[in-house]
Amino acid sequence: MNIEREICANGKNAEKQNDCCPNDVDNLMKSSEIDEKVILSNNDTAYCESTCMCTWDEKVPDETADSVSVTVVFGAEKYDMKVHLNETVLKFRSRVESLTGVPSNMQKLICKGLKLVEDGTLQSCKITDGSKIMLIGTRLKDIINTSDLPAVSDLKEEAVEVSSKEPLCRQKIHVKILEKGIPEDAMPGIKGELDPLPECPISGMLNKRGGKVRLTFKLEADQVWIGTKERTDKIPMNQIKNVISEPIEFHEEYHIMALQLGPTEQSRYFLYWVPAQYVSAIKNAIMGP
């Protein structure tokens, strides 16, 4: 440390001398650099600041300083979370998805009546310690609920029928829907035509429960809305893994269509009496041309 004081003192004296030679200045500069490294290696920054007039503005951030507790409310369920206020809403959505099972792109987060802006931070959205955040959305497994899926016995029959490559319209689990006939409010089907998506919802179709279904395409949001009497599910296009369809025998102006909402064929959402002229446009809108 005596060496450090001497070098610093020499440095100050050299500054006062106007007639110092260039070599002396170079030596002092080099000595100052050595001195700084010595000081830093000994963690003696306070001494450096007081003696050598060095300034250090950088501070080690306190990772817990902005950490707060929030509660995410989803229906009757509550999830307590620790978050950082500088965390982005986009990252927060991802964490909420892992807790609740609601896909991040299907979430609507509200705090004190205000929607959380996706490109903002929790702090910019006025989140504070103890905030309650309401989650509005639908779990994927709830969309494909058990009432829309066939019974175990039907699944076994379907497996046999699929392996034999029998048309969908002949398979037992679909026949019981088709034998009810074309719904009275079904949109007219046209065989052999390829029409663009209509501006209005495609309505008058049936699901596996025999309930009425309509499809609304929100291309600006990259979503397709599946509407029934009970609910409307807003499905991101990129969450649909596949779209299949087959014409219905003796009614080729209509198709059976399945939207695969999960990784397996058991997660298919079946639609009956889809007008044939819109089938290609539906597939292109969801899966791409």
What kind of architecture, by CATH, is found in domain 143-287?
A: Roll (2.30)
How far apart CA 92 and CA 84 sit, in angstroms, is 10
* CATH 3.10.20.90 domain residues, the chain: 67-137
Span 67-137 CATH architecture? Roll (3.10)
pTM of the full structure: 0.52
How many angstroms separate the first and last alpha carbons of the chain?
74
pLDDT of residue 65: 53
Q: pLDDT tens digits, residue range 267-281? A: 899 999 999 999 999
Which residue spans of the chain are classified as CATH 2.30.29.30? 143-287
Rounded alpha-carbon distances, angstroms, from residue 269 to 38, 140, 260: 70, 12, 6
| Range among 145-154, 163-172, 214-223 rated most confident | 214-223
Contact (Cβ atoms closer than 8 angstroms) between residue 43 and residue 60: no
Per-residue pLDDT tens over the stretch 52-96: 444 444 444 444 557 899 999 998 899 999 999 999 999 999 999
Tell me how far CA of residue 229 lies from CA of 126, 193, 272, 274, in angstroms.
37, 30, 16, 18
